[in-house]
Structure 1
Amino acid sequence: MANRQKVREGSATAKAIDYSLKRWAALTRFIDDADLAADNNRIENLIRPIALGRKNWLFAGSLRAGQRPAAIMSLLHTARLNGHEPYAYLKYVLQRLPTQPASALRDLLPYRCSPLA
């Protein structure tokens, strides 16, 4: 806090210090709780494929061309959230899709099926 007064107002350093001071409680929270990580690298690594995919899909050529991989990615992430290995789930669905009655397509959704069964 005392060092902030030594920095010229409006400078990049002043802005960085002000940013840190406004969030000081959150920035130092991990000191009081050993269960909290000091960084968010794990979360950033988990969302990196989504962020990179989103950036790449900007250049898909058209809205429909971008919607296709977004739908597939959503399906695979939903499968993962429901405890399925994405490749095994996709293989399971693609093997059954040609013979699955249209009225029973919802049974192939990740939260309704057991791909390894």
Structure 2
Amino acid sequence: MIGRNNWIFSDTVGGAKASTNLYSLIETAKLNGLEPYRHLQPIFTEPPKAQTLADIEKLLPRAVDPAYINGLK
């Protein structure tokens, strides 16, 4: 358990929660065949621009074209 061993070194509960959230995003990207770094870039930059729920749903791993995220397009 990589995550479990790393979280014992978190100084605060908030820090541990932030770590688990980021770890979850990375592992979800991997499970969906996406390169994590390229998948996280729009997740952190696009939500402020979103006007509708559909705009947010476009960022979900199942809605992303893996060829784009993996640098093939």
- Assess same fold via TM > 0.5: yes
- Mapped to 1, the partners of 2:51 and 2:4 lie a distance apart of 33
Partner of 1:45: none
For 2:29, give the aligned amino acid: A
TM-score using structure 2 length: 0.70
Cα RMSD for the two superposed structures: 2.1
Which structure has the bigger radius of gyration? Answer: 1
- Mapped to 2, the partners of 1:89 and 1:57 lie a distance apart of 23
Partner of 1:34: none
SS in 1 for 2:61: coil
TM-score using structure 1 length: 0.48
Partner of 1:75: 25
SS in 2 for 1:77: helix
Deviation (angstroms), 1:78? 0.7
Partner of 1:55: 5
- Mapped to 1, the partners of 2:34 and 2:12 lie a distance apart of 31
Partner of 1:37: none
Q: Where in structure 2 are there 5+ consecutive unaligned residues?
A: none
For 1:99, give the aligned amino acid: K
Q: Which 4+ residue blocks in structure 1 deviate beyond 6 angstroms?
A: none
Aligned pairs (5 A) from 1:1-117: 51-101=1-51, 103-104=53-54, 105-114=56-65, 116=68
SS in 1 for 2:53: helix
Fraction of identical pairs, as percent? 33
